[in-house]
Amino acid sequence: MSEKTEVKDVDRSLHDEKNEEKHRYKAQKGLTPEVIREISREKNEPEWMLEFRLKALKIYQNKEVPTWGADISDLDMDNIITYVRPDADLESDWDQVPEEIKNTFDALGIPEAEKESLAGVGAQYDSEVVYHNLKEELVEQGVIYMDMENAVKEHEEIVREHFMKLITPNDHKFSALHGAVWSGGSFVYVPAGVDVDIPLQSYFRQNAPGSGQFEHTLIILEEGANAHFIEGCSAPKYSVNNLHAGAVELFVNKGAKLRYSTIENWSRNMYNLNTKRALVDEDGVIEWVSGSFGSKVSMLYPMSILKGARARAEFTGVTFAAEGQYLDTGAQVIHAAPNTTSTVNSRSIAKDGGHAYYRGLLKATDNAHGAKASVSCESLMLDNESKSDTLPIMKLQTDDIDIGHEAKVGRISEEAVFYLMSRGISEEEAKAMIVRGFVEPIANELPLEYAVELNNLINLELEGTIG
Amino acid sequence: MAKKLLKICNLKSKVEDEEILNGINLEVNKGEIHVIMGPNGAGKSTLANVLMGHPEHKIINGEIEFEGENINELAVDKRAKKGIFLSFQYPQEIPGVTVENFLRTAKTAVSGEQQSIFDFKFLLEEKMNLLDIDQSYADRYLNKGFSGGEKKKNEILQMAVLEPKLAILDETDSGLDVDATKTVAEGIKKLASEDNAMIIITHHNQILDYLQPDYVHVLVDGRIAKSGDMELAKAIEKEGYAEYKAEHLDESNSKTNC
Amino acid sequence: MYNKNLVDNLTTGQSKLLSSRRKESYEIYENLTKGDYKRINLFDYQFPEYSPYNKEYLKEKKWQQELMIKKMTDNLNNEEEIINYLDQFKDKKVKKGNQGLDPKYLAMVEAFYNTGLFIKAPQNVELKVPVEIFYELDQENPVLIDNNLIVAEENSNLTIVIDYRMQDQNLKAFHNGLTRVIVKENAVLNIVKVQRFNDQSDNFDSNISLVSNQGELNWIPIELGAKNSVTNNENTLIADGSRASISSVYFADGERKLDLGFKMNHQGRHSSSEIESKGVLKDKAQKVFRGDLYFQKGAGQAKGSEREEVLLLDKTVDSDSIPALFSEEDNVEGEHAVSAGQIDEQRLFYLMSRGMTKAEAKQLMVEASFNPIFDKIPLNDLKGSVINDVKTRIRS
């Protein structure tokens, strides 16, 4: 028992299949107004969007790269091909999706997921959505689920009213970049009172060396609406550092409830600098379920702004940092109205020199009386090569609140391992069991097939420990 | 000879630098129920942990033979697979792992056979009924938030599912009220058979009234000071352990042949 | 002002090595740009004009002969020993997490200190009665810059009480201090620091310690005064089985601002630490709590815990908490917990049902929260007056 169990690295061959590069168009390297104009012209966008992109580009060029958190000095933005379009037009029928792309998706299990009665698949291949399908009943209810490019044209008014209003190009360098070059992503609109009882899912990935991915997700739930959106990412591995700077804007109106789930498993050379925000009105609910497994560097801090009375936010997240990974993640909650509530539950695991960092913010503004918040962070260290840090910042500007925070770090209890082993379970499996149990609260929040995927990811990560 | 299960010879152990077991001799055959009594700190729980193979306890002398094989060096999970079971005095809480999932994994490991989800569900249901445990416990996290009594019942449930050859019950009756002790004891009784044996470590006689042990041993200062039957337990209940303290030790009591 | 001339004046009559240390520190001071304390909106702070501190601050007692107590400003004959102790702090700076007070403030103390003590408990000396130090600021002595060094040698046991206070409610006084502490093998050192300046004064205080094998250091910092109070308390548990604890109490009212930093760097195996902070914010008070538990590589089987409780008495308060847990070792146990909010309504109701007014009930609850820490103050007079001060502040 005093010997440590060697936990082998994940076999990533499943997710590391890559297609021959077969792209009809590649943007020039480097970012200039001309590049932006080209992107916009290709997309046949309205003039205001082009103006918006150009304005964002200017902000991007004047903003400094953030110096806190992860070291991203390896990123050379000028050499990142920001716009790559796959060799397929938008398809609504699976049969017409090109074979190579299908093969990669097959490996990721997307069609299976659909067969199992998932509502729609909007899978982004490189920068644009190539496959799109939405069940007819949802269309009848007035639910809109389409790629962002088409939404800009077909639902111009509502997109213009919301697009990058919650995350603005002024927020930071990468939101400005996103504003300038965004491409692809999903648009979801759920009318008042409509309950979408099957999850909407979008599986996207990037597949060209040096390509950035800047998909934009915009979800609007009208009063009393209810939906669950699942975002999953996986990308094959390349030698050039890849950048992901997407944006997710979620508008949850009065009494609406949105669950946003992500299992992120980018290849281990990816810089994942995603920005996610939700604005929640009276009695509305946002639930984040977040699994961070992949990427070289992640800086990801989903923010919930509770602007209406009694609005609620829940965040459940797991981060698994293995060799060579620096995953800096955490939840941000702003209580900006009376009687708002939030719960943050984060679990992180570090092994083989991986570095897991929880960086959170909890803020209660001066009119957040009656607010209740609890934050719980637990970290598991599997060896002493790894690092685990927890930094939850709390900023309280009123008195009538009830705030609790707890954090813990430690390793697998030897007594617990002995107990399990005394029932005949091997040491390796006992440890794996404890790790799986540790992330169980997150697995519990996921739809079954994603819970299975999460479990598979953990099993892969702990390969060698499963008997 | 086929009936012989466990043979302990002149067993001495230590934790860090402290010697605790100081020459234990004991033989257990199939179909027998042994009771080990003794004052606090005598080494009762240590004996249980040494038999199970707790890494903190080092054997410095002697031998543990199980079914004729020396198991001194065997790892804890291998001992479990051989059919040794310990009902812990303080069972660990394992959040996130359900009782059912845990037991199915353990059963697979101990029996060496993959357990079908449905068959195992039936098995578990049956054992839970036997022990009067609510079915909802199957989906609860292992020992998490269980009361003392629930933890002890859960230990016995594990024993029922894993069907060990030798069960060591470490203070399984402590902290239980009269009714709970009765339920647990009846559960144990149902599991006792001609094919298995039990070592019951206890402070109290109440559980013994239900179980009718074949042998009672008094453990004092790391040694078995006296062996006898139920009458010995009754004598101790009346008079305590004073007369078994080291200075009164009668060496002739260690009569096992090694 | 704080220039070369002043250093020259201060080194006149001071022993040689300590003088040259002042001069070196002055070079550092000169080359640093002053930083801001952003979270309490303290920008571009100007140090007040230098002024000597001429009052007696040490209560000398006969039994203190067992200790070595010297004024750092005097012409000392044992200064080499002091320099050797101070050199132990070189290269001990831990880069991660909260970095404490702005380096210019520390250099300022080392260059321009006008008071300060070197206190050493020699090997095997155990004193039951605490050493008392009283810094009392007034019109003639409005600036206190103290540079202290406290050493508990092997197997010694010592308690030191330092009371920073003032009577004058209108004087605008200034304190910038540095206390370095070394706790050797098996020694036990307790340090109680009480700060009760008026609401016009500013307080800056740095405390840095090194704790050796099986050594134990217990801090009891009590922060009740000052307009701006920025303090830091950083302990490095350098060897096996070293222990440190901080039991902090703060009370901030009016428009006062507090920025309190506590840090435990675990380097030794089996080292253990505990940070406990209880605070009350009233009116428009603003406070930042920074608490770092850092398990450095090699600190196997170390344990650390951190607990912050803050009671918020008015909706105009501003309370920031930044608890951090850094770990480079798997075999450690670290945890922190923060709770913030109002006094429990049920408890208030219960107390009021026994005839107390709401204010009385609140006062009682605050006292209940503070008392376990106040009980650690070894001097009854001091304890009584601290409790009285808290009462007065709650009522006002």
User: Chain B residues contacting A, CB < 8 Å?
Assistant: 52, 54-55, 75-77, 79-81, 85-86, 88, 91-97, 102-103, 105-106, 109-110, 141-142, 158, 162
The predicted pLDDT at position A66 comes to 75
Which among A2, A424, A430 has the least Cβ separation from residue B81?
A424
Interface of A with B in 255-314 (CB under 8 A): none
Across the A/C interface, how many CB contacts are shorter than 8 Å? 122
Residue A89 has pLDDT above 60, yes or no: no
Q: Which residue of A has its CA nearest to C336?
A: A407
CB contact under 8 A, A400 and C342: yes
Residues 6+ apart with CB under 8 A from A95: none
What does pLDDT average to over chain C? 93
Q: How many domains does chain B have?
A: 1
Residue B14 β-bridge partners: B19, B58
Q: What is the rounded CA–CA span in Å between residue B164 and residue B67?
A: 13
Which among A386, A392, A396 has the least Cβ separation from residue C312?
A396
The predicted pLDDT at position B249 comes to 54
Q: Which residue of A has its CA nearest to C300?
A: A384
Residue B252 has pLDDT above 50, yes or no: no
Going by pLDDT thresholds of 50, 70 and 90, the confidence category of residue A8 is: very low
CB contact under 8 A, A425 and B95: no
Going by pLDDT thresholds of 50, 70 and 90, the confidence category of residue A114 is: very low
Going by pLDDT thresholds of 50, 70 and 90, the confidence category of residue B95 is: confident
A403, two tokens: 């705030």
- Sign of the dihedral defined by the CA atoms of residues A151, A152, A155, A160, in that order: positive
Going by pLDDT thresholds of 50, 70 and 90, the confidence category of residue A10 is: very low
Reported as a single tens digit per residue, the pLDDT across B98-140 is 899 899 989 998 998 888 888 999 999 999 998 888 999 999 9
Write out chain C residues lying below 8 Å of A366, CB-based: 315-316
CB A415 within 8 A of CB B92: yes
Whether the CB of A379 is below 8 Å from some CB of chain C: the reply is yes
Residue B3 has pLDDT above 60, yes or no: yes
CB contact under 8 A, A423 and B109: yes
Task: Please tell me the distance in Å from B155's CA to the nearest CA on chain A.
Answer: 10
Report yes or no on B27 lying in a domain. Answer: yes
Which among C316, C322, C329 has the least Cβ separation from residue A393?
C322
Q: Who has greater pLDDT, C15 or A163?
A: A163
Reported as a single tens digit per residue, the pLDDT across C134-157 is 999 999 999 999 999 999 999 999
Write out chain B residues lying below 8 Å of A380, CB-based: none
CB contact under 8 A, A416 and B106: no
Going by pLDDT thresholds of 50, 70 and 90, the confidence category of residue B16 is: confident
What's the mean pLDDT in A156-176?
95
Cα-based torsion angle of the residue sequence A364, A370, A374, A375 in order, rounded to the nearest 10 degrees: 0
Reported as a single tens digit per residue, the pLDDT across A264-301 is 877 777 889 899 999 999 999 999 999 888 889 999 99
Task: Please tell me the distance in Å from A349's CA to the nearest CA on chain B.
Answer: 15
Write out chain A residues lying below 8 Å of B102, CB-based: 420, 423, 433
Residues 6+ apart with CB under 8 A from A461: A7, A9, A10, A293, A320, A322, A351
Query: What three-state secondary structure class fits A402?
Result: strand
Reported as a single tens digit per residue, the pLDDT across C51-65 is 999 998 888 777 788
A329-352 per-residue burial string, b: 16 or more CB within 10 A, e: under 16: bbbbbbbbbbbbbbbbbbbbbbbb
Going by pLDDT thresholds of 50, 70 and 90, the confidence category of residue A197 is: confident
Mean pLDDT is lowest, of A208-217, A266-275, C121-130, for A208-217
Write out chain B residues lying below 8 Å of A426, CB-based: 77, 109
- Which CATH number is B180's domain given? 3.40.50.300
Q: Which residue of B has its CA nearest to A428?
A: B77
CB C271 within 8 A of CB C243: yes
Residue A15 has pLDDT above 60, yes or no: no
What's the mean pLDDT in A254-266?
91
Residue C283's Cβ-count burial label (10 Å; 0-12, 13-18, 19+) is middle
Question: Is C in contact with B (3 or more beta carbon pairs below 8 Å)?
Answer: no
Q: Who has greater pLDDT, B242 or B63?
A: B63
Share of chain C above pLDDT 90, in %: 80
> In this structure, what are the phi and psi dihedrals at residue A384, rounded to the nearest 5 degrees?
-100, 20
The predicted pLDDT at position B246 comes to 58
Whether the CB of A436 is below 8 Å from some CB of chain B: the reply is yes
- Sign of the dihedral defined by the CA atoms of residues C369, C224, C118, C208, in that order: positive
Query: Which of A4-8, B158-162, B230-234 is modeled with the greatest confidence?
Result: B158-162
Place of tokens 């009393």: A224
Distance from the Cα of residue C283 to its chain's centroid: 24
What's the mean pLDDT in B158-165?
94
Mean pLDDT is lowest, of A25-29, A111-115, B113-117, C224-228, for A111-115
Which among A423, A429, A440 has the least Cβ separation from residue B80?
A423
Going by pLDDT thresholds of 50, 70 and 90, the confidence category of residue A78 is: low
CB contact under 8 A, B52 and A440: no
CB contact under 8 A, C326 and A393: no
Q: What is the rounded CA–CA span in Å between residue C166 and residue C139?
A: 10
What's the mean pLDDT in C200-217?
97
Residue C28 has pLDDT above 90, yes or no: yes
Residues 6+ apart with CB under 8 A from A368: A335, A336, A337, A338, A340, A397, A398, A401
Residue A312: closest CA among A242, A254, A228: A254
> In this structure, what are the phi and psi dihedrals at residue A414, rounded to the nearest 5 degrees?
-65, -30
Q: Who has greater pLDDT, A238 or C135?
A: C135
What does pLDDT average to over chain B? 88
Report yes or no on B258 lying in a domain. Answer: no
Residues 6+ apart with CB under 8 A from B149: B175, B176, B177, B180
Reported as a single tens digit per residue, the pLDDT across B38-63 is 988 899 999 999 999 998 899 999 99
ipTM score of complex: 0.87
Residue A321's Cβ-count burial label (10 Å; 0-12, 13-18, 19+) is buried
Write out chain C residues lying below 8 Å of A371, CB-based: none
Q: DSSP of chain B, one letter per residue?
A: -TTEEEEEEEEEEEETTEEEEEEEEEEEETT-EEEEE--TTSSHHHHHHHHHT-TTEEEEEEEEEETTEE-TT--HHHHHHHTEEEE-SSPPPEEEEEHHHHHHHHHHHHHSSPPPHHHHHHHHHHHHHHTT--GGGGGSEETTT--HHHHHHHHHHHHHHH--SEEEEESTTTT--HHHHHHHHHHHHHH--TT-EEEEE-S-SHHHHHH--SEEEEEETTEEEEEE-HHHHHHHHHH-SGGGSGGG--GGG-----
Going by pLDDT thresholds of 50, 70 and 90, the confidence category of residue A46 is: very high
A196, two tokens: 């979408």
Residue C211 β-bridge partners: C183, C237
What's the mean pLDDT in C94-121?
94
Q: What is the rounded CA–CA span in Å between residue A394 and residue A399?
A: 13
The predicted pLDDT at position B83 comes to 94
Cα distance from N-terminal residue to C-terminal residue, chain C: 38
Residue C3 β-bridge partners: none
Whether the CB of A402 is below 8 Å from some CB of chain C: the reply is yes
Which among B80, B93, B94 has the least Cβ separation from residue A424?
B80
Residue C120 has pLDDT above 60, yes or no: yes
Whether the CB of A399 is below 8 Å from some CB of chain C: the reply is yes
Going by pLDDT thresholds of 50, 70 and 90, the confidence category of residue A87 is: very low
Enclosing domain of residue B11: 4-253
What does pLDDT average to over chain A? 80
